[in-house]
A and B are shown apart, each in its own frame.
Chain A
Amino acid sequence: MKTIRESWNREGYLDIPNFWAWDLTSNTFSISDNVNAILSLPSQTINNLDTLKSHLFSFDAKWLDFDTVKELTKNENYFEQKIRLYNAEGNFQFFQINGYVELRDKYEYALLLKGTFTHISYLIENPSKLPQPPVHKAEFELIINGIEAGIWDWDLQFDTIWWSSKFYELLGYQDDEIRTSFNTFFNTLLHKDDKAKVEQLIWEHLYEHKPYKTEIRLLCRSGEYKWFQTSGQAMWDKDGKPIKMAGSIIDITETVNYRSSLLKNEFLLNESAKLARIGAWEVDLKTQKVYWSESTKVIHEFPDNLETPSLTETLSYYPKTSRDKFIKAFDESVSLGRAFDISCEFLTYLQNKIWVRVIGSPLFDIQGNIIGVRGVIKNIDEEKQKELFLQDSLKIIHEQNRKLLNFAHIVSHNIRSHTSNLEMVSNFIEECDTEYERKLLLDNVQQISKQLSETISQLNEVLVTQSQVQQPKVRICFDDVLTKVKSIIQSELVLSGALIKSNFSSCESVYYIPAYLESILINLLSNAIQFRKPEVCPMITLSSWIENNKTVLQIEDNGIGIDLEKYKYKLFGMHHTFHKQTSGKGFGLFLIKNQLDLMGSKIEVESQENIGTTFKIIF
């Protein structure tokens, strides 16, 4: 304005309520404190160029830019600009800046600028004093009101804005409920986290002609923010100065919610897949390409940096034992359109053997042709191992139960056979007629009690044997144990004149419980001697070897043999004897069978009467 043409006293100018001065030499800027009062800011908040700039709307920043101002005043002594400053509530306040050049250097560049500022928000906010909002043709009006989009039309020269009825409606306002201005849009409706983005994008559109299209949150009457997609197009004058910008807003709250729930679901799916060790896979039959999800790679222990393998390569993850099963299921899925669900052994990239469950179903195109197979893979190793362990445990428990029951019967039967005798004999105590009978009775009682105690000690031996299963296994040389056993049964050997030959060269030792191995050898050797043929020198041959990864010990004799057809099932029972003429107690084989069972070993027997018997222990 031309009213401030006089020269101001440098010391006194700040007392004037709307004065400013800018010394471009030292780049010092002074402004009347009144500016703070107008913006409802504490005194001295804005007192230099930096504090002023921090309250300036970025679009207007160039008017306080050193170089711009220097260029602007090169040929003009006077200038006039509208700027927007933020007040304490964060709303724009419009100011008109008028300035003039007080001092120039020899190159005619301004050195000192002085001027006034005038608060003109009142003028801006009362559009009646300014040009009317745009008038649209009736056809446009129909379109504008008909579409599900709010239209905005922003006059950049006067900073006035026009919003279509739909614009208000989308936000839930009546037409006159909010002040229609860029300030309202930017400082009230727009979410604070979207401000910087919008500011930058509009600037880039206006001054760099980049497209303006973005997603923003706007405050609705309900107090909630809704998501909108907004886009717009500016109009420039012949000098390239933007004069107008118009555009639309579309409610995309649902889309955004849908998108975020999709993201959330994807996150949950990924996380649960990781947790549950489930991976997704898909095979495109046309391209033979294989897709693996993150978790699928993890299950395969497949390196991150490698390309997903081809369909044939994926088969290598199924070891021989399960490959056919997988191929059959997959082929049926492709040829018959059948879904499959198989559990099988699986070999990871790092060659770890695990159990997986693979579920797949065919993919159809619109014509109903099978174009692929899609499914999931789950690492079920832990479950499977537990299941197998449980099966094993169950088997062991059944076996233990069977053994216990068997033992209970053995105990009851063997003890009962003596006690029933005792009972019977004692019934006759009163009825013995003769001295002979009385003596016989007492002898019998003595005999029975001896047998009873023998039986009890045998049963006890079985129990001791069973508790020995806890003893540690050690490597035992067959030669050593044979030497020891020979010395234990030395008297039997000497009396019978038995010859023992051994050849343990194929397999010299076994990993076993020493007490068991000794007991097994003692019993088998004693049996061989006891059931020797009369008149024939007993020959016992021991040998060992490896068969099917297992140690085998064989004890062969030239004794009287056993009729296996008759006694096969009784051979290892308690108190079964098969030969009338000898003093067999029917206990040795029962005991060693018990020991072998406890160790999971097997015993096989071959025999021919009058030729000999061969026992084979498979450890």
Chain B
Amino acid sequence: MKPVETICVIDDDNIYGFWVKKLLVSKNFCKSLTIFENGLAGFNYFNELVVGDGVIPDLILLDINMPVMDGWEFLEEFSKIKNKFEKDIPIYVVSSSINPADIERAKGFGEVSGFITKPLTFDNLKQIKLFQD
């Protein structure tokens, strides 16, 4: 498995943030990792990418429950600008929710490639297509 260049994590939980970074970097899933603490911060980053220079992440790991702008709102906003990027950015929803309604709702977004229930581990990271070869 080849590590990807950049992974973008959008999650307000800083404990999760710290350890997911350790997991992804130390296990060689990616070379660099960017964390945004809510949907809006994440969206602003992508919105700026449209016009300016910057690294387009290879993967987005998105939480649902966040203040200011939650995961759903991010998905709605992101869908409006995603075509402006030269490559597809797969999004995986990573949530502690096991509510079937949330899983269904996530599947309803064309941008979402999968739903991963927390905790994020080495094993369930293997669900992500990029890490399967």
Contacts and interface: CB of A to CB of B under 8 A. Distances in A.
A566 B39 CA distance: 13
Contacts of A423: 119, 121
Contacts of A584: 67
B65 A575 contact: yes
B16 interface: yes
Interface of B: 13, 15-16, 18-20, 22-23, 26, 38, 65, 67-68, 70, 73, 96-99, 101, 117-122
**Contact-residue bracket for chain A:** 20 to 34
Contacts of B20: 424
Interface stretch (A202-210, A352-360, A408-416, A468-476): A408-416
Given A413-B96, A416-B97, A444-B15, A431 B121 contact: no
Contact of B67 (A427, A440, A447, A579): A579
Give the top 10 A-B pairs by smallest Cβ distance, nearest first: A420-B118, A424-B119, A417-B96, A420-B119, A416-B96, A423-B119, A577-B67, A420-B96, A409-B99, A444-B15
B79 to A, nearest CB: 17
Contacts of A428: 19, 22-23
30 contacts: A409-B97, A409-B99, A413-B99, A416-B118, A417-B13, A417-B118, A420-B119, A421-B118, A423-B119, A424-B20, A424-B118, A424-B119, A424-B120, A425-B15, A425-B19, A427-B119, A427-B121, A427-B122, A428-B19, A428-B23, A437-B22, A444-B19, A447-B15, A566-B73, A576-B67, A577-B67, A579-B68, A580-B38, A580-B68, A584-B67
B98 A412 contact: yes
B121 A580 contact: no
A409 to B, nearest CB: 5
Given A417-B118, A421-B119, A412 B99 contact: yes
Interface of A: 409, 412-413, 416-417, 419-421, 423-425, 427-428, 431, 437, 440, 444, 447-448, 566, 570, 575-580, 584
A526 to B, nearest CB: 18
Nearest to B101: A409
A566 B65 CA distance: 14
Nearest to B37: A580
A417 B26 contact: no
User: Which applies to chain A's interface (DSSP): helix, strand, loop or mixed?
Assistant: helix
- Of B20, B38, B73, B96, most A-chain CB atoms within 10 Å: B96
B101 to A, nearest CB: 8
Contacts of B16: 421, 424
Contact of B19 (A417, A424, A578, A580): A424
Contacts of B22: 428, 437
A553 B68 CA distance: 29
Given A419-B96, A421-B15, A580-B68, 16 more contacts: A409-B97, A409-B101, A412-B98, A413-B96, A417-B118, A420-B117, A421-B13, A421-B16, A421-B118, A423-B119, A423-B121, A424-B16, A424-B19, A428-B23, A576-B67, A584-B67
Contacts of A416: 96-98, 118
B120 to A, nearest CB: 6
A231 to B, nearest CB: 91
Contacts of B19: 424-425, 428, 444
B97 A413 contact: yes
A426 to B, nearest CB: 9
Nearest to A416: B96
A535 to B, nearest CB: 22
A417 B65 contact: yes
Contacts of A427: 23, 119, 121-122
Contacts of B65: 413, 417, 575-576
A576 B66 CA distance: 7
Contacts of A580: 38, 67-68
Contacts of B122: 427
Given A416-B118, A425-B15, A428-B22, A578 B68 contact: yes
A444 B18 contact: yes
- Of B18, B73, B121, most A-chain CB atoms within 10 Å: B18
Contacts of B98: 412-413, 416
Contacts of A570: 70
A588 to B, nearest CB: 15
A566 B40 CA distance: 13
Contacts of B15: 421, 425, 444, 447-448
Contacts of A444: 15, 18-19
Nearest to B65: A575
A584 B12 CA distance: 14
A425 to B, nearest CB: 6
Nearest to B26: A431
Nearest to A422: B119
